[in-house]
Amino acid sequence: MIRAVAGFVAFYVCWLACVGGAARGLPWLGPLAVAAYVVAHLRTIPWGAARMRHARLLGLAGVVGYAADSVLVLTGVLRFPPQAVLGWPSTAWMVALWVLQAAVLGGVMSWLQSRFGLAAVAGAIGGPLAYLAGERMGAAVLGPTQAVALAVIAAEWALAMPLLVWLDERARLAP
């Protein structure tokens, strides 16, 4: 129970470091916080093949997130104000959020394991809410209209969350 609460708190501290840092002109703060979390997280996994598979999962989540959010930026669905930019088309702090999401799948979000339909619903709801919160904090701008952007982001995360759950399960079950 204590580990679950600690994971939940760490997730939100890192999320706030990413989004809040970007909104305040410190876009490097979130990736730094997530990197520290990932190092601590990986230390909880026994040394060897399991840790390497999980590290690859986190790297793959970052690549998937960079590609997915870059498409949003290139199509005008998502923009970043000047103070939030660190990288292009997507930003380093957004990539860090994808890595963070993958890192908590086996802990705080373990209730999604093997529940791909539920993962799609959770992604379709949680994804747009997170991006909307980021916009309200001043770290991102949604467009061409907010409704269109949120619908596209819902579709993105309805696909991304089950994919991340599936990748997490493959990393855990591989020999």
- Tens of pLDDT, residue by residue over 124-164, are 999 999 999 999 999 999 999 999 999 999 999 999 999 99
pLDDT at residue 7, rounded to an integer: 83
pTM across the whole model: 0.94
In the numeric block, the tokens 């209730």 are attached to 111
Across the range 109-115, mean pLDDT stands at: 83
For CA atoms 117, 156, 125, 65, the dihedral sign is positive
Across the range 33-44, mean pLDDT stands at: 94
Q: Report how far residue 153's alpha carbon sits from residue 69's, in angstroms, rounded to the nearest whole number.
A: 9
Q: Mutual orientation of helices 92-103 and 49-74 as an angle, nearest 10°?
A: 140
| Residue 175 confidence (pLDDT) above 70 | no
| Residue 108 confidence (pLDDT) above 80 | no
Q: Write the burial class of residue 103 (CB in 10 Å: 0-12 exposed, 13-18 middle, 19+ buried).
A: buried
